[in-house]
Structure 1
């Protein structure tokens, strides 16, 4: 980043100060999501924001080696005390937080001291893969489904804050003020929420966001989660996004919807069988082919594999189907592809990067889909996805496409962090895993 660019960012942020102050903003939170899926933050008082925009905020690269419990692995490329990065806020995504009065938020890009991209910057990797697709003439639209459960505050146990039934309006009535305040906060922040509803598990809700640029879709997923967390706290409640809140219950998913576009046309809405243009079929086939390896990114925690089981609509089978909610890939005919095996212990930027890299490889190879599965996959003898994080990590290490997309340093550190979590829970029961992870994501 040269002097002219720094001066431009400083001037632009300065121009924003008056409007932020008029809305009673006193500080700006600049977030990134680490390899373990935890949203980390550095904040600056409002008057320091122009300097942060121009020069970034100091942040140690040690966060690349953090586990979900804040322990640090001794990785091959991360985990030591030496070095510093600069966290630069994206001024285009600066948002006044309706759920946290006095605060604004911006996602951050992690750069080195010279303003060059950090090799393990998650948001930067997502942007790089999107640019690669653009180089082939394609655009992608993406959106996330965000699921969470609302529990009573004041305890590490999970006690649902509502007794209403699954999908029941009673649940929404019991927490009517909470739901209204949350929807209002999302709207005020410019989040285009397609729908909001109670979900299956006790105390569970879901928000689905509208399709947008994939990097911005990941930003929005972070913003939605932190808004849910803030509004819940203001109502004396506690939100959990864990893939397994209680060991014998239904967990939270974090499904990704993607569609491939060329020349303004959605290739998942073509005049073709299942509305799949050849490139859309190849894209979906590329994702399907790499699902075991993708699980190390999209289902990246030990708790993920307590959720990723048959008969829970978690997408536990390596198949695709038209509107088949037990398949890992659900084709929403005429609209997009839903990846159902992902959950919210994942870093959304890495989810976007890895999924799009797999899809692009399918397009380049001209991959083709097998016939869709139109029944419960367990009745069709379908192949399961990995049943443990260790299996997924092994598949990730073998995958050349993802290795190339991530680069050696980034890919190695992902493996080191995942194996660190595996070791952390090596002697833990499912109940202990659920207890430790319940309030971390």
Structure 2
């Protein structure tokens, strides 16, 4: 279980009691340094590292890092808001010891996610991980809810020997085909071994649709741990690929005109150990609270697109009829719906039933994604919002009148449109708080401006190796 308490200057007593033993264990494993990782507003993982011997100091007093990174773009240029983006100030990075792990894919290193607090010991209002912890805590305290979450992680494997900046698929063969698994079997076996050593539960890993594409589905955890494992799994995939002479892209669109990399989210609500998405009296076994939670997510999907599809490259992926979920529609096991109700196999519904949110990619900050999905769902739960009529098949087939009758609306087709929806969504902005909400808007508009005038191929190339 993830630590949900805020860091404190001087360190939490429980952490201080553990740190000496952890340092000894890491040293015995020949771990020389510790990666302290967080994800910025643009979805880029930023790090500082410390020698293993400095772990106690990091746990006690944190490690300094500028708040300017909250308004970095994916190309490392900087935008600003009224409180972020200047060279002034400092923050402290505090590692979460519950998630600290030796990196099997990077011998000599360990990894831990961090929470960020100010030098005065207060929560940093731009810290996405702190935001998600707060949303989880508030849901438990106000509504008695807990959550299980999981990410699907898609990536494209290219040859490390390809010309600089170019993508050459590292594998041939049909989509989902055995040829791909055979050609890269050694890499996949090493990946599974590394993830197992790091206690990352893997439900499945398989070849995917696009050129050189694979997918890993991680096991469900509490939301903060699920976001942490998303970051850790990608770090591991990248490290193992490099050791095999390969290069990884998690970009939403590695190549323009092709199916992109998604980061679909699976989310379920629980109360007193009972899954609210099964065994209820509403459609397909939903309880009233689970139905309203789903309806809340569906209602906020246009604004959520600015969180979950945060890159100009995201909109090369969000195309109709490509299983990306680009319409405000839901359906049971309908893979073209933005919100797919997964009911689970007979006999396993109470364990497996969940919501899959499809218009999400891996340029998204996973902490912002889960925190905002929870905020949207809770808004629906409080309002007891009903789900509209479900859809089957591809919603792209509906004419304007049919779509309007069903409440089926196209999600934003550009990042600028998504920001407009986000700025009008008071629920999401209030949940994030003004500092983080303004950072989201500024960074998204900065990304849009950075590619103004570029064609699709150049947009794909600009972000190919950013994620």
Aligned equivalent of 1:207: 216
- Equivalent pairs counted in the alignment come to 441
Deviation of 1:62 (Å) = 0.3
Segment drifting more, 6-15 vs 387-396: 6-15
Q: 1 CA distance for matches of 2:198 and 2:13?
A: 28
Q: CA RMSD in A?
A: 1.2
Deviation of 1:9 (Å) = 3.2
Q: 2 CA distance for matches of 1:196 and 1:5?
A: 38
Deviation of 1:10 (Å) = 3.7
- Superposed, 1:340-351 pairs within 5 Å as 340-351=358-369
Task: Provide Cα deviations, 1:351-391, integer angstroms capped at 9, x if missing partner.
Answer: 01100000011101100000110121111333211111111
- Superposed, 1:269-288 pairs within 5 Å as 269-272=278-281, 273-288=283-298
> For the Cα contact (< 8 Å) 1:303–1:437, is it kept in 2?
yes
TM-score (norm 2): 0.93
SS at match of 1:378: helix
Q: 1 CA distance for matches of 2:416 and 2:97?
A: 39
> For the Cα contact (< 8 Å) 2:159–2:246, is it kept in 1?
yes
> For the Cα contact (< 8 Å) 1:10–1:50, is it kept in 2?
yes
Aligned equivalent of 1:251: 260
Q: 1:175 aligns with which of 164, 168, 184?
A: 184
TM-score (norm 1): 0.98
1:75 to 1:189, Cα distance in 2 relative to 1, 3 A: same
Q: 2 CA distance for matches of 1:79 and 1:242?
A: 25
- Superposed, 1:11-410 pairs within 5 Å as 11-135=17-141, 136-154=143-161, 155=163, 156-272=165-281, 273-333=283-343, 334=349, 335-380=353-398, 381=403, 382-410=408-436
Which residues of structure 2 form unaligned runs of 5+?
1-6, 344-348
Q: 1 CA distance for matches of 2:226 and 2:300?
A: 22
SS at match of 2:190: helix
> For the Cα contact (< 8 Å) 2:175–2:210, is it kept in 1?
yes
Deviation of 1:349 (Å) = 0.3
- Superposed, 1:425-440 pairs within 5 Å as 425-440=451-466
Task: Provide Cα deviations, 1:320-376, integer angstroms capped at 9, x if missing partner.
Answer: 011111110010014100000000000000001100000011101100000110121
> For the Cα contact (< 8 Å) 1:7–1:54, is it kept in 2?
no
Deviation of 1:12 (Å) = 2.1
> For the Cα contact (< 8 Å) 1:75–1:417, is it kept in 2?
no
Task: Provide Cα deviations, 1:160-190, integer angstroms capped at 9, x if missing partner.
Answer: 0000210001101001100100111111100
Deviation of 1:428 (Å) = 1.1
SS at match of 2:256: coil
1:96 to 1:2, Cα distance in 2 relative to 1, 3 A: closer
Segment drifting more, 382-391 vs 97-106: 382-391
Q: 1 CA distance for matches of 2:16 and 2:61?
A: 9
Which residues of structure 1 form unaligned runs of 5+?
none
Q: 2 CA distance for matches of 1:223 and 1:183?
A: 13
> For the Cα contact (< 8 Å) 1:76–1:413, is it kept in 2?
no
Deviation of 1:7 (Å) = 5.7
> For the Cα contact (< 8 Å) 1:76–1:416, is it kept in 2?
no
